[in-house]
Chain A
Amino acid sequence: MNQIWAVTLKELKSYFVSPIAYVITAMFLLISGYFFYLILSITKDAGMMTYLFGNMAVILLLITPLLSMRLFAEEQRNKTLEMLMTSPISDSGIVLGKFFASAILLAIMLLMTLHFPLMLIYLGNPDGYTIISGYIGLFLMGCSFLAIGMLTSTWTQNQIIAAVSAFGISLLLWFLSAASTIAGSGLGPVLTYISLNAHWESFAKGLLSMSDVLYYLSVIGVLLFVTIRSLETRRWR
C-alpha cells in the first residue's frame, strides 16, 4: 500500500511540476465555463444542469486522453519502466498507483467547477439530486476514459499514439449504442448495454442507479485488469 501511494505521489508531482495539469485544467474550466454561460443565457428550465453535464462529458472525452497518455508511454521512452518493474511493487500496484493519481487530478478538475451549481443555488432552486448524481457520473465516466488511456499508454512509448488510440477507443465505446438499431434484436441491446453513453444519461438526469454505478466500476475494473496483463506480458517477451 505504501508503495502504491509512493507511485501516486510521484505521478501527481510529475503532473504539477510540468505545465500539463495546469494547462489541461485551465482548458477544461474555460470550455466548461463557456458552455455554462451559454446554457445559463439560453435556457432557464430545470434541466440546465443536465445540459451542462452533457457538455462537460464531451469535454472530458476530449481531454482525458491527454492526462493518461504519459502514464506508461513516458516511462518506456525514459527507460524508467525497467526500474519500476524491478522494484518490490507488483504490476497491479504500479497500475493502481498511476490510476489513482490521474483520478485524483480528474477529481480536482471537477471540484473546480463546483461554482457552477453553487451559483445556480444562489440564483434559483436547482435539483440538488441531479447535481450530485451528475458529478458522480462525470467522475465515473472520466475514470473509464482514464483507464482506457492508461491501457493504450502501455502499448507504445509515443504519447501521441497513446492519446489518439485512447480517444478513438473511448469515442467508439461512447457511440456503440448508435449501432444497436441496425444490429438486430439479439446484438442490439448488448451494444447498448456496453456503450458508455447509455449509462451516462441517467446520471445526468439525476437518476442515480446502482446498476449504472456498477457498470462503470466494472468497466474500470476490466480495463485496469487488462492494463496489468498488458504490463505483465513484457516480462515474457
Chain B
Amino acid sequence: MIIVDNVTKAYANQQEAVSNLSFEVPEGTILGFLGPNGAGKTTTMRMITGFMAPTRGQIKVAGYDTVTQSMQARQQIGYLPETPPLYNELTTRAYLDFIARLRGIKSKSERQQRIAEVAESCWISDILDKTPTKLSKGYRQRVGLAQALIHNPRVIILDEPTIGLDPRQIQETRKLIKGLGGKHTVILSTHILPEVQMTCDRVIIINQGKILAQDSPENLIRHNSGLKRITMKVKGELPGVSEFLQNFASVERFQHLKTESELHTLSVESGTDGIEAILARELIARDLDLYGLQTAESSLEDVFIELVTQEEELES
C-alpha cells in the first residue's frame, strides 16, 4: 500500500534528516515508527503525505507517486500532524464539515453522517458545537484524529497520536487505532514503546534518519536477545554464591547490583526455561535466605535502547 524507495531528504543546510530510507507497508497493516526525538519520523511522514518532496528517491501510496501524482495520492490519505490542525474560529462541527468538503465529500447529508460517525468513534459528540479555544488538549487531539478519519481514507498517518492524552484516553485511542487495522493501512509514530507493542503489527526503529530494524514487535524482542532478566534479593554469605552463579551454565550474565542492610540484590540473564525454580533451589541449598525473585521479559524498550546505543557506539 505504501512503498518508500531509497528516500533521502536533505534540508537547506545540507543536513540529511532522512537518508536512503526504504520500506513497504502492506495493506491493512499498522506500522509503528519508533525512534528518539529528531530521528526523522516526522520528516518521513511529511514526505508520505506529500507535504514535502523527497530530495532523492520515490514514495508511492496506493500505487500513486506522491510527487507526480500528488492529488491522487493525497486522496488516499488521512493525516494527523504533530499538532492537531484546528482553527480557533470554527466549531468542531464546522471544522469537520470544512475538512469533509476539502476531502471531496460533496453531499451535505453524507458529510453530516460522516461527522456523526467520527464524532462517535473519537468521543467528541459532546463538543461538536464548541470552538477549540475551549477544549482540553485531549479533546483537541481527538478532533485532530476525527479530521484524519472523516473521509474514510485507505491510508492513515498519525504523528504521535496519543500525546497529551490522559491514561484512560490513551488506552481508548490505542483501541481505536487497533480497530483501524485490517480495513485501513496505518502508520503511527511514537517514542512510547508500549504503544507500539500494544497496537502495531510491524515496527520500524529509526535513528538519525536510518532504519535500524524492522519486524513485528514479537520477533524483534525474540531475535534480539531472547533472554529473561531475573532479579533476586538474598541475605547470607555471598562469595560462594557469586562464584556459582558466574560459572553456572544456564546463566548468561551475572551482576551484583547492590547491598542494602545486608540484603543483596543480584541479577542474572538467562534463556533457560524454568530458570527461576532452579535458581531458587540452588540459593536455598547454599543456605541463603531468599527474600524475593522477579522475572522481567526483555521488552521492546531493551531492544530499542540496545539498537540505538549500538548504533552510537559504532559511530564513535
**Contact at A80–B51, with CB atoms within 8 Å?**
no
Give the secondary structure class of A's interface.
Answer: helix
Taking the complex as formed, is B11 at the interface, i.e. its CB lies under 8 A from any CB of chain A? Answer: yes
Give, as a whole number of angstroms, the nearest-CB distance from B315 to chain A: 27
Q: Which B residues touch A186, using CB under 8 A? A: none
Most buried by A among B85, B90, B94, B104: B85
What sequence of 0s and 1s flags, for each residue 74-105 of chain B, a beta carbon within 8 Å of any chain A beta carbon? Answer: 11010101110111111000100011011110
CB within 8 Å for A6 and B102 given contacts A17-B90, A235-B52: yes
Q: State whether A78 touches B88 (Cβ < 8 A).
A: yes
Smallest CB-CB separation from B47: which chain A residue? A235
B101:A83 contact, CB within 8 angstroms? no
Knowing A7-B102, A88-B71 are in contact, say whether A14-B77 is a contact too (CB < 8 A).
no
Chain A proximity of B108: nearest CB distance (Å) = 12
Assuming the contacts A2-B101, A86-B77, A237-B11, asked whether A10 and B87 have C-beta atoms less than 8 A apart, the reply is: yes
Interface assignment of B46: CB less than 8 Å from any CB of chain A: yes
CA–CA, A135 and B94, complex, Å: 34
B160 to chain A, nearest CB (A): 13
Contact with B along A78-111 (1 / 0, CB 8 A): 1110111111111000000000000000000000
Are A80 and B87 in contact (CB-based, < 8 A)? yes
* Bound Cα distance from A82 to B43, whole angstroms: 12
A236 at the interface (CB under 8 A from B): yes
Q: A86-B49, A235-B51, A235-B53 are in contact. Are A79 and B85 (CB under 8 A)?
A: yes
Q: Is the CB of A13 within 8 A of B88?
A: no
B90 touches A86 (CB 8 A): no
User: Is B277's beta carbon under 8 Å from chain A?
Assistant: no
CA distance A89 to B74 in the complex (A): 9
Q: Are A13 and B104 in contact (CB under 8 A)?
A: no
> What residue in chain B is nearest A83 (Cβ atoms)?
B85
- Choice from B53, B79, B98 contacting A9 with Cβ under 8 Å: B98
Q: Is the CB of B104 within 8 A of A82?
A: no
Bound CA span A10–B90, Å = 8
Given A78-B87, A236-B53, A83 contacting B98 (CB threshold 8 A): no
0 or 1 for each of A196-237: is its CB under 8 Å from B? (1 = yes): 000000000000000000000000000000000000001111
Which residues of chain B are within 8 angstroms of A3 by Cβ–Cβ distance?
101-102, 104
B9 to chain A, nearest CB (A): 10
Chain A residues, CB < 8 A from B223? none
A83 and B95 alpha carbons, distance in the complex (Å): 12
* Residue ID in chain A nearest B46 by CB atoms: A82
- B-facing residues in A1-56 (Cβ within 8 Å): 2-3, 5-7, 9-10, 13-14, 17-18
B: contact size bracket = 20 to 34
Asked if residues B46 and A14 are in contact (CB atoms below 8 Å), the reply is: no
Tell me the minimal C-beta distance from A165 to chain B in angstroms. Answer: 22
Quick one: which of B71, B85, B98 contacts A10, CB cutoff 8 A? B98
Q: Is the CB of A82 within 8 A of B98?
A: no
Whether A88 touches B74, Cβ cut-off 8 Å, given contacts A10-B98, A14-B90, A83-B147, is yes
Cross-chain contact A237 with B12 (CB below 8 angstroms) = yes
**Cβ–Cβ contact A86 & B104, under 8 A:** no
Instruction: Assess whether B40 is interfacial by the CB under 8 Å rule.
Output: no
Query: Which of chain A's residues has its CB closest to B88's CB?
Result: A78
Residue of A nearest to B11 (CB): A237
Chain A residues within an 8 Å CB radius of B77: 86
Is A89 a contact partner of B89 (Cβ separation < 8 A)?
A: no
Residue of B nearest to A90 (CB): B71
Report Cα–Cα, A237/B14, bound state, in Å: 11
Cβ proximity bits B59-74 to A, threshold 8 Å, 1 near / 0 not: 0000000000001001
Given A235-B52, A237-B11, answer yes or no on A86-B79 (Cβ-Cβ < 8 Å): yes
- Interface assignment of B134: CB less than 8 Å from any CB of chain A: no
CB nearest to A89 among chain B residues: B102
- Cβ of B106 under 8 Å from chain A: yes
Residues of B within 8 A of A13 (CB): 89-90, 94
Give the complex CA separation of A237 and B10 in angstroms: 8
* B98 neighbours in A (Cβ, 8 Å): 6, 9-10
Q: B85 and A78: CB pair below 8 A?
A: yes
Q: Which residues of A lie under 8 Å from residue B71 when comparing CB positions?
A: 88, 90
Cα–Cα distance between A126 and B79 once the two chains are bound (Å):
58
Known: A13-B94, A82-B46. 19 other contacts (CB 8 A): A2-B101, A3-B102, A9-B98, A9-B101, A10-B87, A10-B90, A17-B90, A78-B85, A78-B86, A78-B88, A79-B82, A82-B51, A84-B102, A86-B51, A87-B74, A87-B99, A235-B50, A236-B52, A237-B12
7 nearest A-B residue pairs (beta carbon): A6-B101, A83-B85, A80-B85, A79-B83, A86-B49, A17-B89, A88-B74
Sample (16) of A-B pairs whose CB atoms are under 8 Å apart: A3-B102, A9-B101, A10-B87, A13-B89, A14-B87, A17-B90, A79-B81, A79-B83, A82-B79, A83-B79, A83-B85, A86-B77, A88-B103, A89-B102, A235-B50, A236-B52
